[in-house]
Amino acid sequence: MINLAAAIELADRVYIYDNSVNDAEAALCARTQDGALRKIYRELPEWISDAVVDLPKHVGFVDGRGAT
């Protein structure tokens, strides 16, 4: 996840998709903005959770887990 951490640090916005399930569409899981966690779209796989757990939350943070 070194590359993901570097991307979050360098890019204005990072959209994190989970494509770890065979024969399934990649699922948008989280987004960062200016190095901070901006939105969580769904329950996070462990590898994404581990990558974003220590990020500061953006002032406009939205947690969409469990939303219908």
Q: What is the pLDDT of residues 16-34, one digit of tens each?
A: 999 998 999 999 999 999 9
Q: What is the 8-class DSSP label of residue 67? A: -
Q: Is the pLDDT of residue 52 over 60?
A: yes
Model confidence band, residue 66 (pLDDT cutoffs 50, 70, 90): confident
Model-level pTM?
0.88
Find the range with the poorest average confidence among 12-16, 20-24, 56-60.
20-24
